[in-house]
A and B are shown apart, each in its own frame.
Chain A
Amino acid sequence: MRKFLRACLCCVMFSPTLGHAAAFEEDPWLMLEKAGQAAHKLSYKGIFVYQSGHTVGNIQITHMNYPQGEFARVVSLDGAPREVLRQGNEAVIYSPQNEKVMIEKRRVQSSFPALLPGLSDMLKASYQAKLVGQERVGGRDGLVIQLLPRDHLRYGYRFSVDREFGLLLKSVMLNERNEALEQFAFSQLTLMPNTGMDWFHPNVERGKSYVMQPEENVVPNRAEGDGWKINHLPSGFVKIDQVSRVMPGKTVPVNQMIFSDGIASVSLFVETLEKGAVPKTGQLVQGAANIYANVIDGYQLIVVGEVPEAVVKQIGESVSFKK
């Protein structure tokens, strides 16, 4: 017994990172839950780097939580000076295009550092959460939590949570070879005292005319399309929404079904193959997304998702139509 204890002690002594972190914090799931809440509750300002595939950009974020609600201003620092002003879930996007500034209104859900929606049992069924150590990100001390997929149907994630603020400092999506497919990381972060609102305005190419774009034409669609159904969803994925949306250049609205395992998401688009339209078939990778296209019984299917290739394919191949 004494030997065993000594061995344990040695383990702790020789892995100070793990020993320290484990003694420090609680359940990694709880830490992630808290990080999700911190992103909404705290007022902060910082710059983060976003990388997806070969695309890299620096983004500045100012997020304030006032008694009247959450306000955020997000500005791209590289390339076109795109800006997003957000109040709660309502966002206005300003993007300069030639002589004009296009304005788009959108409903958005959480974005970095508020990446984590409510953590469900569904998520726990598909991933294992582990506190694996600590790292310094953007000058802040973070604890590293890994979400390990329980099967090959989804990617893994590595999160760093600020030790002091509880805020997400870094998020990396990793493929089966442990290569980063997409990542966000603060290079600078400070908490803000609650000041006035004078920061909450766009600063996009003043003097240009602003053009409001029509709102996205998306309506909920509860019906199961034109008699089509999904036979085998990859395990852990459930249908979370179904909408019908008008797409550019299409006369007929496209059906979109959205699937998720709690963190990864897949969209399935189904539309009637219009006369003269070129059928799309095959697979493609874009940034962190895998895309699968197929034509079944005169319908064009397109599957897009931040999941392994096999998963978009499985979803695309499991659609069947009543004849």
Chain B
Amino acid sequence: MKERISALMDDEIDADGADHLFKALKSDAELAGRWSTYHMIGDVMRGEAPLSADFSRKLMAQIDNEPTVLAPRKSSHHAHSFLMTAVASVAAVMFVSWMVLQQQAHSPSGDIAPTVAINSVSPESVNSYVVAHQNTFAGAGIQAAYYVRPVALSENGN
């Protein structure tokens, strides 16, 4: 079941084919909790804003509107397991956020910013400087740039 929820979330299963899943979600509070956990993890991983509370409410409303034949009564056991799941979800999201933050902390330049900002520097306009730099310094083997220099760099364009 976990895999199916995950697949649905990643749009691997189309919504029509997922009717039974919605039903199952409605019937199982634990699964419902897991659904939102998966979704939030996915969002955080992709660097998107976490799900709005509104989204979850709409989703639950949709689930409630699903015609149900065999909706089991919510027992105290279910409430308890829902609470546990909620705690686990929060913990999981916090962990993932922490991991994402850790990764971002290692890239001060930022992953999101495009490498080429809006500017007036074209590769051609700085060719001669790049070549001069590479010719000057032996550092980490930059000299090899001689041998496999891209065509644009082999000309003295400026």
Contacts and interface: CB of A to CB of B under 8 A. Distances in A.
B144 A258 contact: no
B32 to A, nearest CB: 36
Interface in B53-83: none
Contacts, number: 171
A183 to B, nearest CB: 9
Contacts of A243: 136
Given A267-B136, A289-B130, A308-B109, A79 B119 contact: no
A152 B147 contact: no
Interface string A66-89: 000000001110111010100000
A205 interface: no
Contact of A286 (B123, B128, B143, B146): B123
B117 interface: yes
Instruction: Give the residue among B103, B116, B123, B142 with the most A Cβ atoms within 10 A.
Output: B142
Contacts of B52: none
Contacts of B119: 280-284, 293
Given A249-B158, A286-B130, A293-B126, A112 B144 contact: yes
Interface residues of B, number: 42
A248 interface: yes
B140 A173 contact: yes
A309 B109 CA distance: 6
A110 B144 CA distance: 10
Given A249-B158, A282-B121, A109 B143 contact: yes
Interface stretch (A10-18, A53-61, A129-137): A53-61
Contacts of A278: 120, 125
B139 interface: yes
Given A56-B148, A57-B148, A293-B126, A248 B156 contact: yes
A291 interface: yes
Interface in A211-250: 216, 241, 243, 245, 247-250
B121 A285 contact: no
Interface string B130-141: 101111111111
B158 A182 contact: no
Contact of B128 (A56, A247, A263): A247
A250 B158 CA distance: 9
B141 A293 contact: no
B17 interface: no
A52 B149 CA distance: 10
A46 B124 CA distance: 34
Contacts of B100: none
B116 to A, nearest CB: 6
Interface of A: 50, 52, 55-57, 59, 74-76, 78-80, 82, 84, 93, 95, 106, 108-112, 115, 117, 152, 157, 171, 173, 176-177, 182, 184, 216, 241, 243, 245, 247-250, 254, 256, 258, 260, 263-265, 267, 269, 278-287, 289, 291, 293, 302, 304-306, 308-310
12 contacts: A59-B144, A93-B146, A106-B135, A110-B138, A115-B141, A152-B107, A182-B141, A267-B129, A283-B117, A284-B116, A291-B121, A309-B109
Given A177-B111, A304-B133, 7 more contacts: A55-B148, A112-B141, A152-B108, A248-B128, A260-B137, A265-B137, A282-B116
